[in-house]
Structure 1
């Protein structure tokens, strides 16, 4: 049966690679992005459908899912991948309220809106898989961009908190936590610096292949570290047992 796949932030980088990967598997792919020219080009390349979507708007997220369902009859996989960096720091010289709110709107609020729209649609089609792109910055520390890190921590919290209830409806939700990836979010100067310091950069196609494997699995509520040349590594979160008083 042909899969129907929706990918946000799919005009370039990881999102475009995911769109290409699933199209190569024979899926019908809906390419969503605020970048109309880039998104339309990827959609044409993969024989898919382009939908302009500003993920910071709740109505745009709902319209994206509705369009996919109306066009193809249902959904099997939604990858909420859209994200941006550079939320500014917390010093006197680099604290920027506008930038901070923009990163929160795209990386956290946009994911909330996407989840709210996609989860019922996946359940109504008999279940499926939902992926959210977080980051290794959501597992460690990113002093160079603390606002970005905060949003990526938040994404993992959403995934882990929503997964148990939606599993009962046949929907699996997992987070992807890539390390450094050669995408437009890294400037040429940043790429040169990272390579000079000996860091490995994954290619978007490598991340896309890992994403497909995770989407096809049975796990839910997990966060997977994705790094160049390595298989996906599930994060071992601590088990927290809340204390109860007894009469």
Structure 2
């Protein structure tokens, strides 16, 4: 992967997968903007990378437009966006719903991806195209019993990525998702002992998958990353069309 002269923005970049991705982006020649609510952690990673730290709460609708603007102001362009910030649900999502916790997991895992993509697209257009990768999860492809809220947000990210990719690919803006299995990162620090000897990914395993996506992923692909396996696009099964139907119409849903 050669990103010489390119500029990348990484959310959740202060630790875990985000910090590992920053290392790989810098090694590929990119200038990097590190976005994270952990201002101190973001500053440390950005200083090591020779990049820009941008402390922000990505659930704030104004945060991602401001981060994109900061990237363009500092470096004059934006080429790669990794929407990586995420949290676990912390509750089953099937009973005794904690509304504040629900809003938080939806805000971080889904809203920030939508806010980030819509903020980044104009900047990527100004750069002549670019790449967006959202960190989803295997829970975006299959069920994860016990954390229905997290699973719901990651399924939503996968659907959003696939649909946005179909819209943006003609403009040279490639949108993908990375769907890692269980990774030994700060996200699961509180429950790490529950995994025992179960095979776990490292943060750099996932960052390597992101690098593969950036290097040769096709628009709309959602790549799985699992221990001991090469990262690869997930093969979605097609949905049967109505009997006797041809190509589905392009419906302007908002008009109905």
1:105 aligns with 2:107: yes
**Aligned residues: CA RMSD:** 1.6
Name the CA distance, whole Å, in 1 between partners of 2:13 and 2:242: 44
Q: Which runs of 4+ in 1 moved over 4 A?
A: none
List runs of 5+ in structure 2 lacking aligned partners: 246-256
Match of 2:145 in 1: 143
CA apart distance, 1:241: 5.1
Match of 1:21 in 2: 24
Name the CA distance, whole Å, in 2 between partners of 1:238 and 1:124: 35
Match of 1:193 in 2: 194
Q: What is the TM-score normalised by the length of structure 1?
A: 0.93
CA apart distance, 1:229: 2.5
Match of 1:121 in 2: 123
Match of 2:249 in 1: none
List runs of 5+ in structure 1 lacking aligned partners: none
Name the CA distance, whole Å, in 1 between partners of 2:11 and 2:217: 23
CA apart distance, 1:213: 1.6
Match of 1:157 in 2: 159
Name the CA distance, whole Å, in 2 between partners of 1:187 and 1:26: 31
| 71, 80, 87: which one aligns with 2:83 | 80
Name the CA distance, whole Å, in 1 between partners of 2:53 and 2:161: 26
| 165, 168, 172: which one aligns with 1:166 | 168
Q: What is the TM-score normalised by the length of structure 2?
A: 0.90
Confirm or deny: 8 A CA contact 1:5 1:27 kept in the other structure.
yes
Confirm or deny: 8 A CA contact 1:87 1:96 kept in the other structure.
no
Name the CA distance, whole Å, in 2 between partners of 1:217 and 1:128: 13
Match of 1:5 in 2: 8
Match of 1:213 in 2: 212
Confirm or deny: 8 A CA contact 1:129 1:171 kept in the other structure.
yes
How has the CA–CA distance of structure 1 residues 91 and 58 changed in structure 2, closer, same or farther, with 3 Å as cutoff?
A: closer
Confirm or deny: 8 A CA contact 2:176 2:217 kept in the other structure.
no
Confirm or deny: 8 A CA contact 1:87 1:102 kept in the other structure.
no
How has the CA–CA distance of structure 1 residues 101 and 75 changed in structure 2, closer, same or farther, with 3 Å as cutoff?
A: same
Name the CA distance, whole Å, in 2 between partners of 1:218 and 1:153: 20
Match of 2:36 in 1: 33
Name the CA distance, whole Å, in 2 between partners of 1:191 and 1:200: 12
1:223 aligns with 2:222: yes
Helix, strand or coil for the counterpart of 1:110?
Answer: helix
Name the CA distance, whole Å, in 1 between partners of 2:10 and 2:176: 15
Count of aligned pairs: 242
Helix, strand or coil for the counterpart of 1:65?
Answer: helix
Q: Deviations over 1:21-71 (max 9, x none)?
A: 111222101100010011101101111100112111121110001110121
How has the CA–CA distance of structure 1 residues 90 and 63 changed in structure 2, closer, same or farther, with 3 Å as cutoff?
A: closer
Helix, strand or coil for the counterpart of 2:188?
Answer: coil
CA apart distance, 1:212: 1.1
